[in-house]
Amino acid sequence: MKDPDFMARAIELAKKGRLKVQPNPMVGCVIVKNNKIIGEGWHKEYGKDHAEVNAIKNCKKIFGTKKALKLIAGSNVYVNLEPCSIENNTPPCSNALIECKIKKLFCGTLDPNPKINGKGIKLLKKSGIETNVGLLKNQCIQLNRIFFTNQKKSRPYIILKSAQSLDGKIALKSGESNWITNSESRKNSHHIRSRVKGILVGKNTAEQDNPSLTVRLSKNELGLDKGESIEQPVKIVLGNLNRSKKVSKIFAGNSKIIIASNQLAKKSRNVEYLKYRKKNFLEEFLQDLLDRNISSILVEGGQKTLNTFIMNNLFDELVLYTAPIFLGKESKDALSIHSPSAIKKSMKLEMVKLERFKDDIKTTYYNNNL
């Protein structure tokens, strides 16, 4: 195996933490001696040991502590993100690698967090450890689009999602929209829900559809062990929403709910009401969500909500499920945004993935490069 192969393995390990590590990044680590992997690990859950520490523990488990420390000394370590150099929930990973006397570190990319950026690498170099930054850099950055967005834009990573007909409609004139897409598409959308910290809708969608805004997949479908729990995202509503039969599913159970509007703030056991003075409070609200460790949100609102995010250029990913049906000109459009003055001034997205669920087509686009 070559250096890129070991880094690719670190990336695959990192993905195992996808459902549990936010707002931390996904990180995998591979320890190599004489071109053989002697230990590997990944960051499994927010607040717990990081990938480097888990890889060292894995090596000790395989070979025993004494032999493992001899093997790790003089080894090469591959990690997709710069080892941390500050103590937060866990001790600095840079120190752990220095104490183990590794020979060389291959790092996919520097940590975008200004408190860490480059500092971990400097500590390793100062201790005589050779460092190589940039191996499979693009793949390492794309893996942690959520974390990089949080750090660089000071807001959650935002995914816009819509289900539409071939003629770009999301509901009939009456408001009926269940179900435009098929069951496989809907199941896939729950996988997206499982990977975000919050699901956002507008007040109108909440009152018209009474959505549950929950992940309705089994542990097996999510790849979780029996002992692991399914973490439900926070329910987020834009607009002054009060408890009523029309929104009974949103307020059901003990789910955390955040409601943002410019109306009088209220208090409730599991509901947080945030009041804003500005008419357009979206950017301020997104900062408040990030401050609450809501590092990613899925926007499932109707036309008005989707338009608001698009017109303010506040989104990172757009997911469209298109069903092979026509709903006609009197039905509701998916979008109704203002036209640009010229085609060359129009917003252009990057199509990154095309998937098929029976006869439905799912298209994923990225907005802006990191």
How does pLDDT run across 275-308, given as a tens digit for each residue?
998 888 999 999 999 999 999 999 997 888 999 9
* Mean pLDDT confidence for 334-349: 82
Active-site residue, selected from the candidate residues 12, 40, 45, 52:
52
Burial class (CB in 10 A: 0-12, 13-18, 19+), 253: exposed
52 has catalytic annotation: yes
Q: How does pLDDT run across 251-277, given as a tens digit for each residue? A: 887 889 999 988 776 677 788 999 998
CA distance 102 to 131: 11
List of residues 6+ apart from 15 with CB closer than 8 A: 26, 28, 143
Q: What is the pTM of this model?
A: 0.92
Question: Is the pLDDT at 199 greater than 70, yes or no?
Answer: yes
Residues 175-189, buried b or exposed e (16+ Cβ, 10 A)?
Answer: eebeebbbeebbebb
Measured between alpha carbons, how far is residue 209 from residues 155, 159, 190, 192 in Å? 28, 20, 17, 20
